[in-house]
């Protein structure tokens, strides 16, 4: 009787593939540390039998027990759960180095890496506006493009073009994750096709690290910043009455989103505070910040 080969990960259902990936990462981390399964059981408080099932991809371990395993392996829990591409030793060493740095040093390291490996020599010819919904990115972007004589691009429209679907259909059929994939592809194509443009992005583009890094590397980026009250007022002025239902909760949600994204938006090359300013005045400030205009 011949033994059948186990299915490859890409042929498994997503849950089985994820569990096998977790098991493989636990086994690899244990090997790197030169630990036997008995050693790991002793230091993690998880039985050898449970660990054997886990490493075989057959154990649906609780997050609490997996945290104990990660602690015994001196490995971040996130590394064991990461089901993205396998990380090289250099990647892990670099991550470990960054973990030892302070916030200012990490920011400096990011800038150095960006300048060396990410930034395009043509980036200053492309301007990207980022910020929450209601920041005025589309309105200001059109004004800036008209005064600069550049093309204005709404990234959401490029996403629709790439997907061949409207935004509502993208979210219905592919969800948030699907939209982010299309957004990344749309941005990649845009950067390849256009040397000069003014780009209005969606507020959530910063939530996908790869896409956001592509944006920072390929465009001179400006954060249009405003306080939550200004954002809410502009959304309502645009005709969207949904925030008025349960206004207090909507405002709390908006404030929380802004708090969570502020540090990411702050990675932009420049910040323009739009609170209390008319679109024309904001456009003038944006133009003064854009190196392509100063160099003209």
Q: Where in the chain are the domains?
A: 13-82, 108-294
Question: Could you give the CA distance from residue 168 to residue 110 in angstroms, rounded to a whole number?
Answer: 35
| The pLDDT of residue 226 | 87
pTM of the predicted model, to two decimals? 0.70
Q: What is the band of 54 on the pLDDT scale with cuts at 50, 70, 90?
A: very high
pLDDT value at 36 more than 70: yes
- Percent of the chain past pLDDT 90, that is, above it, reads 46
Q: What is the band of 121 on the pLDDT scale with cuts at 50, 70, 90?
A: low
Extract the tokens encoding 242: 């949904």
Question: In b/e form, how buried is each residue of 140-155, taking b as 16+ CB within 10 angstroms?
Answer: bbbbbbeebebebbbb
Asked if residue 58 belongs to a known ligand binding site, the reply is no
What is the CATH T-level fold of the domain 108-294, as seen in this structure?
A: Rossmann fold (3.40.50)
Asked if residue 47 belongs to a known ligand binding site, the reply is no
Asked if residue 184 belongs to a known ligand binding site, the reply is no
pLDDT value at 188 more than 90: yes
Asked if residue 259 belongs to a known ligand binding site, the reply is no
Range 13-82: architecture per CATH: Orthogonal Bundle (1.10)
Asked if residue 180 belongs to a known ligand binding site, the reply is yes
Asked if residue 261 belongs to a known ligand binding site, the reply is yes
262: helix, strand or coil? helix
Q: What is the band of 162 on the pLDDT scale with cuts at 50, 70, 90?
A: very high
> Worst-scoring range by mean pLDDT, 22-31, 231-240, 244-253?
244-253
* Better-scored residue on pLDDT, 272 or 132: 272
pLDDT value at 279 more than 90: yes
């Amino acid at each position: 009787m011949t033994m059948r080969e186990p299915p490859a990960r890409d042929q498994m259902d997503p849950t089985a593939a994820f569990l096998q990936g977790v098991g493989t990462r636990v086994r690899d981390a244990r090997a790197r540390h030169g630990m036997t399964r008995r050693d790991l059981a002793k230091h993690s408080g998880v039985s050898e039998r449970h660990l054997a099932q886990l490493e075989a991809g057959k154990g649906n371990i609780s997050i609490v027990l997996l945290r104990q395993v990660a602690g015994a392996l001196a490995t971040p829990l996130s590394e064991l759960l990461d089901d993205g591409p396998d990380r090289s030793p250099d990647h892990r060493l670099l991550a470990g180095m960054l973990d030892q740095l302070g916030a200012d040093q990490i920011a400096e390291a990011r800038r150095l890496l960006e300048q060396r490996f990410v930034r395009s020599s043509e980036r200053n010819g492309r301007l990207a506006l980022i910020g929450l919904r209601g920041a005025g990115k589309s309105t200001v972007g059109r004004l800036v493009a008209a005064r600069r004589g550049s093309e204005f691009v709404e990234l959401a429209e490029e996403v629709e073009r790439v997907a061949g679907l409207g935004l509502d259909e993208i979210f219905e059929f592919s969800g948030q994750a699907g939209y982010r994939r299309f957004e990344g592809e749309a941005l990649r194509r845009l950067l390849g096709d256009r040397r000069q443009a003014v780009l209005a992005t969606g507020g959530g583009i910063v939530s996908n690290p790869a896409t956001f890094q592509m944006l920072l590397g390929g465009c001179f980026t400006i954060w249009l910043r405003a306080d939550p009250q200004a954002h809410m007022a502009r959304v309502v002025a645009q005709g969207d009455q949904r925030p008025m239902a349960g206004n207090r909760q909507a405002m709390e949600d908006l404030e929380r989103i802004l708090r969570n994204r502020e540090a990411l938006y702050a990675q932009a090359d420049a910040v323009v505070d739009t609170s209390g300013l008319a679109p024309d005045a904001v456009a003038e400030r944006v133009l003064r910040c854009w190196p392509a205009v100063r160099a003209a």
